[in-house]
Structure 1
Amino acid sequence: MNTTSDTLHALKPTIDRMPDPAGRAEAAALESELAAVHGVRHAITVSSGTAALHTALIACRTGPGDEVLLPAATVIMTVAAVTATGAHPVFVDAAAGGRGMDLADAAAKTTERTRAIIPVHLAGRTDGLVELAAYAQSVGLHLVEDACQAQGSRTRGRAAGTIGTIGCFSLKDGKIISSGEGGYLLTDDAELAARAAAYRTHWLTPAPHAPAGSRLGMNYRLAEPLAALARHNLTRLNTALARRREQARLLYDLVGETPGLAVHAPGPEDDPNGYSALWRVDLDRPRDFSTRLAEDGVANSVGTYRLRAAHQHPACQYLNPAPCPRAAQAVDQMLAVTLQPQTTDTELHHLAETIRREAKSWAEGR
């Protein structure tokens, strides 16, 4: 894959002839192309994946006094998007085996104040998504997919981010398709799309029952140079997706049946994008093991980025979250090895060797 500098050089003629930013020509073209690629009616570009989540919730009329259900096994950015609306995040425990949200717990925590449910597709996984979507529809709730790590993932033949009311994506570096920073929303609902488009531009455009200038909004616009870069990279989506899946498969093969590590295999109807190679750590002090790997150059969600279940995160304690023990265990035992487009096969061999060596040493108490 081209480096950012190489891609910018290739795009220089496009950038040189770019119209005034107020015209938003590149962003508008990117939206059309994203909608076509994903097979939906509307795509709305924004400045980040977090902005996409915030904008989607606002489009769904989420606000103070509302509640939003989301998995305790999530990144803190998802929680921040909920609290930015003034709504209260309600954490749902993980299903057995840490696979998606527990439907029984979600149902028990659904109240008359619940406005939406946010499934989070960590590491590109969509465990239990179809069943959760059916539940949301049965009780009249919006399903806002956090698909920021799931570009290209599919379940039962359907693309992640197109199963719920709105799908939210990131274009940050490291994603399957990126532009350095940015994000977008997908939806088939014209009214929600109009509200999202209005909100991301200070409500300078109208939406049904909300004329231009009648609401407060944000500046969540995607910059034109980043939109141009995303358009260029979008043309390579299939190639980029195939490469990421190839990287994950190679790493699984190289690590093999290492004692203490169990591959987190996808469900029979799921086809993840290979965003991260994913294992369950069955060793003592799994979080410390992931930290040890990070210190040895194996970047991973827990050891490098300090992922922890949201209800245990220091920044969430003021929310008085209920315990979610299965989610806590699932996150603590998660080894999600970070893959990048530029990671070479030689580097993957080195990562696998390090993982095997450290797992053996850890099991032996060294």
Structure 2
Amino acid sequence: MPDPTAYEAMAAALARMPDPDSYQEVRALEGELAAAFGARRAVAVSSGTAAITTALAACGIGADDEVLVPAVTVVMTVAAVAAAGARPVFVDAAAEGRGMDLADLTSKTGPATKAVIAVHLAGRTDNIHDLAACARTTGLRLIEDACQAQGTTSRGRAAGTVGDIGCFSLKDGKIISCGEGGYLLTDDDALADRAAAYRTHWQSPAPGAPAGSRLGANHRLAEPLAALARHNLQRFPDALAQRRQQAARLHRAVDATAGLEPIAPADGEVPNGYSALWRVTLPEPRAFATRLAGLGVPNSVGTHRLTAAHLHPACSGYATGDLPRARATVDTLLAVPFTEHDTEQAIEQWALTIRQEAAAWKS
């Protein structure tokens, strides 16, 4: 059932709308997000994709620049880089799919390379600290696409706070949501000021760039949506605990299944439970994931057609060759995501379906 107090929060925000320049809810949300995740600043925007594009603009990245992107990512990450006018350069996966291959990343870093984007797919940060050290050594900006990682921590740091700037989504289905929206986290005041200026057509000043001195975009978050996000942020601890419990329940019921190997968290990582994760060792793993989706078990490959980005038709203009570990990482992935509406009974039914189908598939 919808939470009636959420509608009350939105109604209060709508009552203040005659003052369009107040942005009272947005400013309050930004302060609360920064405090919740241990960042100095937060900047609210209109979507997770807008957050990445705004982060790139804040870092001064645009035409003729290159941005290193993991091939194991959703196409929206690539779209944000292209929207910023930069060129995405795909990096292969590390061994066992643990983040980006740093050797491949280094080999693809050149004079035009300005940033690297780490994508915390399914709430896992993988080798983010090694990647951060590599970025510091090479002088690259590190942007975290943490849209699926609200609440994940690694070595005590919240996802999205390890690099220069972290990007998040507030779309329905995320642990904190408001229908549509996003935000950035950073400890760098200059980056935050440039992000805030860019999201509203550069109507506010930023270091070295007075108001109106540059072109920006309309990536503002509407006041009613900010009010709803604030309401759901208050519920975040309980929502996070629920996701972790859901993931643990499904793992307990499925982990012993032949043909499925649970993907453990990286050292020092506490995932948010966005998805339960296995490596499929059965033949034709993509067909297996599609079969599960048809039987009502949502998953990234079977339901959402997740494909290694360099093989996605929309990214063909940026592909420069096959990246075999990235392809294998995606094709053998079984990632079952959760929402707050998934009941214990539904999760038990998913588990039964997965076990039965895996046994039938293997035989």
Structure 1-normalised TM-score?
0.97
3-state SS of the aligned residue for 1:277?
strand
Q: Which digits, 9 at most, give the CA deviation of each residue in 1:282-309, with x for residues without a partner?
A: 0111001000000000111000100000
Note if contact 2:90-2:319 (Cα within 8 Å) is conserved in structure 1.
no
Closer, same or farther in 2 for the Cα pair 1:13/1:85, shift >3 Å?
closer
Establish whether residue 190 from structure 1 lines up as the match of residue 189 from structure 2.
yes
- Which whole-Å CA distance do the structure 2 matches of 1:100 and 1:7 have between them? 40
Establish whether residue 327 from structure 1 lines up as the match of residue 326 from structure 2.
yes
The letter of the residue matching 2:308 is: A
Q: Name the structure 2 match of 1:110.
A: 109
Once the two structures are superposed, the pairs formed by residues 256-267 of structure 1 within 5 Å of their partners are: 256-267=255-266
Closer, same or farther in 2 for the Cα pair 1:232/1:125, shift >3 Å?
same
TM-aligned CA deviation for residue 7 of structure 1: 4.5
Q: Name the structure 2 match of 1:14.
A: 12
- Which whole-Å CA distance do the structure 2 matches of 1:342 and 1:257 have between them? 26
The letter of the residue matching 1:43 is: A
Q: Name the structure 2 match of 1:235.
A: 234
Q: Name the structure 2 match of 1:128.
A: 127
Closer, same or farther in 2 for the Cα pair 1:12/1:314, shift >3 Å?
closer
- Which whole-Å CA distance do the structure 1 matches of 2:269 and 2:275 have between them? 15
- Which whole-Å CA distance do the structure 1 matches of 2:258 and 2:49 have between them? 37
CA RMSD, 1 decimal: 1.1
3-state SS of the aligned residue for 2:329?
helix
Q: Which digits, 9 at most, give the CA deviation of each residue in 1:79-115, with x for residues without a partner?
A: 0011111111111000000110011111111111100
Number of equivalences: 362
Q: Name the structure 2 match of 1:212.
A: 211
TM-aligned CA deviation for residue 139 of structure 1: 1.0
More moved, 263-272 vs 158-167: 263-272
Once the two structures are superposed, the pairs formed by residues 156-305 of structure 1 within 5 Å of their partners are: 156-305=155-304
- Which whole-Å CA distance do the structure 1 matches of 2:43 and 2:213 have between them? 20
- Which whole-Å CA distance do the structure 2 matches of 1:8 and 1:257 have between them? 41
3-state SS of the aligned residue for 1:206?
coil
Closer, same or farther in 2 for the Cα pair 1:87/1:349, shift >3 Å?
same
TM-aligned CA deviation for residue 229 of structure 1: 0.3
Note if contact 2:6-2:231 (Cα within 8 Å) is conserved in structure 1.
no
Percent of aligned positions that are identical: 61
TM-aligned CA deviation for residue 41 of structure 1: 1.2
Structure 1 segments (4+ residues) deviating >4 Å: none
- Which whole-Å CA distance do the structure 2 matches of 1:115 and 1:256 have between them? 41
Q: Which digits, 9 at most, give the CA deviation of each residue in 1:172-215, with x for residues without a partner?
A: 01111111110000011111111100110011101111111111
- Which whole-Å CA distance do the structure 2 matches of 1:142 and 1:42 have between them? 17
Q: Name the structure 2 match of 1:55.
A: 54
Q: Name the structure 2 match of 1:343.
A: 342
- Which whole-Å CA distance do the structure 1 matches of 2:215 and 2:94 have between them? 38
Segments of 5+ residues of structure 1 without an aligned counterpart are none
Once the two structures are superposed, the pairs formed by residues 34-113 of structure 1 within 5 Å of their partners are: 34-113=33-112
The letter of the residue matching 2:122 is: A
TM-aligned CA deviation for residue 16 of structure 1: 4.8
The letter of the residue matching 1:260 is: G
Closer, same or farther in 2 for the Cα pair 1:344/1:189, shift >3 Å?
same
3-state SS of the aligned residue for 1:266?
coil
- Which whole-Å CA distance do the structure 2 matches of 1:360 and 1:233 have between them? 40
The letter of the residue matching 1:194 is: D
3-state SS of the aligned residue for 1:337?
strand
Note if contact 1:7-1:229 (Cα within 8 Å) is conserved in structure 2.
no
3-state SS of the aligned residue for 2:67?
strand
More moved, 324-333 vs 253-262: 253-262
Establish whether residue 307 from structure 1 lines up as the match of residue 301 from structure 2.
no
